[in-house]
């Protein structure tokens, strides 16, 4: 076992913990142990993970039906079905999707899953280094950034502390996006139940899933330069829901916005 493999099996990964919460099997014991500790103090974390995923899929379906044909999904996590490319290719097989994650295992799984699909690419990249990701996309011709693109930052910015300037990170993606592009973003919100937030902080601080809850006005600043589509910035289970979803003590807020 090389050093990278040893790290993967001994250090929890946010992507693999999320996969476990969604009911996936592409995770290690260290990830399951970390997720179970989270669930022990915040039992509705699994419900919330699924609500966030459902929000992303509803947003993708809407944008595909409105004519979007390029997607850059940053912090994609382990592949789940329905995936973004499945949603888009059900509308138009020519749509191009680029999945980005900092976890090497995500790329391994995506490469195996997508080996016969030249319209979908998986690359390694860190959301906190937007210029590296964007340069890779341009230099390899993965997407045409002179045309509209959907940038997905779902449940990833709450892993970025304020001192790393998450609003500035979003701004770098925004500045590279052509008019008519869309941003799909979600993030843990500070109007969560205080006791539940305290319990999550107690178990997650200092780990790869240390979580930064942000107030509504700070999350709204992530959408500077964009026009939010109805219903605006809301808890993810309330964004154009297909059915009622259970209430959770922790809240993830999300929205979809267009660059004019």
- pLDDT, one tens digit per residue, over 61-94 is 999 999 999 999 999 887 777 899 999 999 999 9
Closest alpha carbon to 95 in 135, 147, 52: 147
The span from the CA of 118 to the CA of 57, in Å, is: 22
Is the pLDDT reported for residue 227 higher than 50? yes
Is the pLDDT reported for residue 4 higher than 70? no
How many Å separate Cα 100 from the centre of its chain?
A: 10
Mean pLDDT for the chain overall: 89
Closest alpha carbon to 127 in 176, 98, 166: 166
Confidence at 7, pLDDT banded by 50, 70, 90: very low
Determine the pLDDT at residue 138: 97
The span from the CA of 95 to the CA of 213, in Å, is: 34
Closest alpha carbon to 185 in 17, 50, 78, 52: 52
SS (H, E, C) the chain: CCHHHHHHHHCCCHHHHHHHHCCCCCCCHHHHHHHHHHHHHCCCHHHHHHHHHHHHHHHHHHHHHCCCCEEEEECCCCCCCCCHHHHHHCCCCCCEEEEEECCHHHHHHHHHHCCCCCCEEEEECCCCCHHHHHHHHHHCCCCCCCCCCEEEEECCHHHCCHHHCHHHHHHHHHHHCCCCCEEEEEEEECCCCHHHHHHHHHHHCCCCCCCCCECHHHHHHCCCCCEECCCCCEEHHHCCCCCCCCCCCCCEEEEEEECC
Measured at the CA of 222, the angle between CA 180 and CA 243, to 5 degrees, comes to 75
* Cβ proximity of 153 and 76 under 8 Å: no
* Cβ proximity of 68 and 59 under 8 Å: no
Closest alpha carbon to 78 in 105, 96, 55: 105
Is the pLDDT reported for residue 10 higher than 90? no
First to last CA, the chain: 50
Handedness of CA 217, 218, 221, 223 (dihedral sign): negative
Task: Say if strands 252-258 and 182-188 run parallel, antiparallel, or are unpaired.
Answer: antiparallel
Token match 């915040």: residue?
42
Which of the two residues, 88 and 8, has the higher pLDDT score? 88
Task: State percent of the chain over pLDDT 70.
Answer: 94
Q: Using one digit for the tens of pLDDT, what is the confidence trace for 102-160?
A: 888 788 878 887 766 889 999 999 999 999 999 999 999 999 999 999 999 999 999 99
């Amino acid at each position: 076992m090389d050093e990278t493999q040893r790290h993967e099996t001994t250090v929890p990964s946010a992507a693999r913990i999320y996969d476990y919460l969604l009911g996936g099997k592409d995770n290690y014991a260290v990830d399951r142990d970390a997720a179970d500790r989270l669930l022990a103090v915040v039992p509705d974390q699994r419900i919330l993970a699924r609500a966030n995923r459902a929000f992303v899929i509803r947003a993708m379906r809407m944008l595909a039906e409105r004519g979007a044909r390029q997607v850059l999904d940053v912090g994609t996590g382990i592949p789940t079905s329905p995936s973004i490319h499945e949603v888009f290719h059900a509308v138009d097989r020519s749509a191009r999707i680029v999945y980005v994650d900092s976890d090497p295992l995500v790329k391994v799984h995506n490469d195996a899953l997508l080996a016969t699909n030249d319209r979908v690419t998986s690359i390694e990249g860190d959301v906190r280094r937007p210029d590296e990701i964007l340069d890779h996309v341009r230099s390899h011709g993965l997407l045409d950034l002179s045309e509209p693109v959907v940038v997905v930052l779902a449940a990833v910015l709450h892993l970025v502390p304020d001192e790393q300037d998450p609003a500035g990170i979003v701004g770098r993606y925004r500045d590279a996006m052509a008019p008519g592009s869309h941003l799909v973003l979600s993030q843990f919100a500070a109007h969560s139940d205080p006791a539940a937030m305290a319990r999550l902080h107690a178990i997650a601080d200092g780990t790869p899933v240390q979580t930064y809850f942000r107030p509504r006005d700070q999350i709204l600043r992530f959408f500077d330069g964009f026009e939010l589509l109805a219903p605006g910035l809301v808890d993810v289970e309330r964004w154009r829901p297909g059915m009622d979803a259970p209430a959770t003590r922790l809240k993830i807020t999300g929205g979809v916005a267009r660059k004019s």
